[in-house]
With several copies, the nearest count.
Chain A
């Protein structure tokens, strides 16, 4: 089925790492929620950057500096179109999604939120969308409130009205990295806007896998990382509504973000450069631009369709094969979730599961997935997590299942 719309065999060939072996077995990479593999064109473009046009940006009047600058700035435009931003000025490059969220916490939130205000978080959030708010909360005596979850790891919106009282900021992930739950972002942002709150969407797990439209989501801020969407490490993106960005004070101070500096003080540069202090991750931004083009070439709708089909296949296969021995956390149906499959197998610790799977070339993550509050709610310490991407296919799922079976034998 999945083969018909999507040539996953051909896509696999774009990713050099997937040709390697681990412990004498072909690698089966199922940890794309942590970081994705990179297609050869992304790797090559960065190599070419260093071999052909490497120069510091924005200030050089010479040829290669102009090339580097314009390629970097073209990526800004590309990214802004990719998420349907209204202007490339709304795209701030950071080092990762975590910095993007912290930027909002240090600038927008620290000028707008005060004692008595409430920040509403979903119980599915990643530490990167929790800890910055806890830091602020303890500084300012701001209340953090949690949207509870249902048994199957979906947000429980039954008491949103009470939850929203005094809320000034809603922080929610579009897709949970721990369970794969797709959250009803638009419904949440609509409700939050009704009470005048601002909405930050953590899109780390959605931008790589779904068509993203910041307007449709009703987001005011949106954060994601390059390395989970076929791009390199070292670059992330904060999108923000232009009017908000323009009113925010700067964050990091230094080169690039100033218009003028005297011994008495400084004036800030225009948005978005106001938020990009110091030499940017130039090669990485350019690499991200190639990654965006790569994903667009395949098509975000096709990607989602492939992943949904494959997830459905995986859920069925694992349930059929292991029955009650294997519990898959999160929503039951593939349509309600991304390609993240978080599971418990008997009472075997996820760390041991992952160690044995590695012996069969299978890469899955074991742990709390940076979601300790969620793990506490689920009543587990950790889970094993297999997460899919464009280069995975049914054969990968079969190898996974066979390897899980071997785990059972050791810890019987």
Chain B
């Protein structure tokens, strides 16, 4: 698999094969949003159950490629039991990582940075920016989740 190591990391393949928080929640009380990737036909449904400011539960349903599935699974794992504020912050940092900056594209070394803003496991998805078409896969679940917790946008 020469050249694809940055994309198909161990942890991504693991989330793809064993997706966390898969399934549905009953609506209401949960909120559901559907997302489409018009480029490849992928669909994702995100269910979110909040308790006040807290994300009590999140479930992911739908079909997609390894990147979109793994990214959504990793997202679910990262935001459950977090506050809405914390989740929004995470979305922002994730999207930042996924945006095609010169710096992102150029850095041969896609090193995990260790400051307080670290995205933890999510850093594994950083390799996706090298494949611009796949960015939409990686962000599909996130954008859909964002629509739920930042409504009216």
A contacts B: CB pair < 8 Å: yes
Chain A contact residues, CB within 8 Å of chain B: 23, 58-61, 65-66, 69-70, 258-260, 267, 269, 273, 349-352, 355-356, 359, 366-368, 372, 375, 381-382, 406, 409-411
Interfacial chain A residues near B42, Cβ < 8 Å: 351, 381-382
A65 to B134, CA, bound (A): 12
Question: Is the CB–CB distance between A258 and B41 below 8 Å?
Answer: no
Check B132 against A351 for contact (C-beta < 8 Å). no
- In the complex, the chain B residue whose C-beta lies closest to that of A410 is B1
Q: Contact: A60 with B133, CB < 8 Å?
A: yes
CB-defined contacts of A273 to chain B, threshold 8 Å: 38
- Considering the chains assembled together, what is the distance between the CA atoms of A69 and B3 in angstroms? 21
List residues of chain B with CB under 8 Å of any chain A CB: 1-4, 7-8, 13, 36, 38-43, 63-67, 69, 131-134, 137
Assess the A355–B131 pair: CB atoms within 8 A. yes
How far, in whole Å, are A306 and B7 apart by their CA atoms in the complex? 38
Q: How far is the CB of A65 from chain B (nearest CB, A)?
A: 7
Out of A70, A372, A406, A409, name the residue touching B41 (CB < 8 Å): A372
Determine the chain A residues whose CB is within 8 A of the CB of B131 once the complex forms: 61, 66, 355
Closest 6 CB pairs of A and B: A368-B41, A351-B65, A349-B65, A367-B40, A382-B41, A381-B63
When the two chains form their complex, are residues A259 and B38 in contact, meaning their CB atoms are under 8 A apart? Answer: yes
A12 to B13, CA, bound (A): 38
Are B4's CB and A359's CB within 8 A? Answer: yes
Contact of B4 among A61, A69, A372, A410 (CB under 8 A): A410
Chain A residues with CB under 8 Å of B39's CB are 58-59, 367
A60-B69 Cα distance, complex, nearest whole Å: 19
**A63 (CB) vs chain B CBs: closest residue:** B131
If A61-B131, A355-B4, A410-B8 are given as contacts, then 17 extra A-B residue pairs at C-beta distance below 8 Å, sorted by A number, are: A23-B3, A58-B39, A59-B39, A60-B133, A259-B36, A259-B38, A267-B36, A351-B137, A355-B134, A366-B40, A372-B41, A381-B42, A381-B43, A381-B63, A381-B64, A409-B1, A411-B66
Indicate whether A69 sits within 8 Å of B7 (C-beta atoms), given known contacts A366-B40, A367-B41, A411-B13.
no
Question: CB within 8 A of A359: which of B3, B38, B41?
Answer: B3
Can you identify 19 A-B contacts, CB atoms within 8 angstroms?
A: A61-B131, A61-B134, A65-B133, A66-B133, A69-B132, A69-B133, A70-B132, A273-B38, A351-B65, A355-B7, A355-B131, A356-B1, A359-B4, A367-B39, A368-B40, A368-B41, A382-B41, A382-B42, A411-B13
Q: Report the minimal beta-carbon distance from A80 to chain B, rounded to whole angstroms.
A: 16
The answer to whether A66 touches B66, judged by C-beta atoms less than 8 angstroms apart, is: no
In the bound complex, residues from chain B placing their C-beta under 8 Å from that of A69 are 132-133
Chain A nearest Cβ from B64, distance in angstroms:
7
CA distance A28 to B69 in the complex (A): 29
Q: Is the CB of B1 within 8 A of A406?
A: yes
In the complex, the answer to whether B13 meets A359 with C-beta atoms within 8 Å is no
Q: Which chain B residue has the least Cβ–Cβ distance from A73?
A: B132
Query: B38 touching A66 by the CB < 8 A rule?
Result: no
Complex Cα distance A23/B7, Å? 15
**Are A269 and B133 closer than 8 Å at their CB atoms?**
no
Residues of A within 8 A of B13 (CB): 410-411
Q: Whole-angstrom distance between the alpha carbons of A376 and B13 in the complex?
A: 27
- Chain A residues contacting B69 (CB-CB under 8 Å) are 349
Closest to A273 in B: B38
> Please, how many angstroms separate the alpha-carbon atoms of A382 and B67 in the complex?
15
The CA-CA distance from A59 to B64 in the complex, in Å, is: 15
How far apart are A294's CB and chain B's nearest CB, in angstroms?
Answer: 23
Say how far A114's CB is from chain B's closest CB, in angstroms. Answer: 30
- Known contacts: A356-B1, A411-B66. The answer to whether A350 contacts B133 by CB under 8 A is no
Shortest beta-carbon distance from A361 to chain B in Å: 11
Nearest-CB distance from B125 to chain A (Å)? 14
Return the contact of A258 from the options B8, B38, B133, B134 (Cβ within 8 A). Answer: B38
Is A61 touching B66 in the complex (CB atoms < 8 A)? no
**A352 near B133: Cβ-Cβ < 8 Å:** no
Which of B2, B43, B67 interacts with A351 by CB under 8 Å?
A: B67
Cβ contact within 8 Å between B40 and A59: yes
In the bound complex, CA of A149 to CA of B13 (Å): 36
| Separation of A410 and B42 alpha carbons in the complex (Å) | 21
